[in-house]
Amino acid sequence: GPTGKCIQTNQVQLPYYCQCPDGQNTVFKCADPNPCQPNPCGPGHCEVTTNLLNGYICRCHDGTIQMTNCSIPKNPCASLPCGLQGRCLSLAAAPKGYMCMCHSDGITFTTIDTCP
């Protein structure tokens, strides 16, 4: 198979065999590698999926699904929670993990949610 290396021998009974990445040798096709071995999700659970290029998703303990290791913190500002008028500041100590710097009528103020 595409994952193995074909080794030719000088034996009539066994002219070749496949050397597989997992260390096994076989006269058949090598098994497709499991993208969840070793677990790329860290503390999360890895699930094989054929819908994605990397071949897996990570189900994290906080209920989220990520494409990468669950121990890598998500950027709370990625979804633009402060709107287009505000500036999001990632802040672990804040209740939602971020604070918004808002500008209204020449005044700058902060809020823990969104800018009005």
What is the per-residue DSSP string for 52-107?
STTSEEEE-TTS-EESS-TTSPP-TTTT-TTTTTSEEEE-TTSTTSEEEEEEETTE
pTM assigned to the model:
0.42
Mean pLDDT (the chain, rounded) = 82
Domain that holds residue 15: 1-32
Same domain, 84 and 106: yes
Same domain, 82 and 116: yes
Structural tokens at position 7: 């080794």
- pLDDT tens-digit readout, 17-74: 888 877 788 887 777 778 898 899 988 899 998 777 778 888 888 777 787 788 777 7
Same domain, 82 and 111: yes
Strand order in the sheet with 107-111: 87-90, 98-104, 107-111
Q: How far is it, in rounded angstroms, from Cα 102 to Cα 110? A: 6
Task: Assess whether pLDDT exceeds 50 at residue 1.
Answer: no
Same domain, 6 and 24: yes
- pLDDT tens-digit readout, 66-100: 877 887 777 788 888 888 878 988 887 788 888 89
Same domain, 43 and 27: no
**For residue 47, what pLDDT is reported?**
92
What's the domain count of the chain? 3
Structural tokens at position 41: 């999700």
Same domain, 79 and 42: no
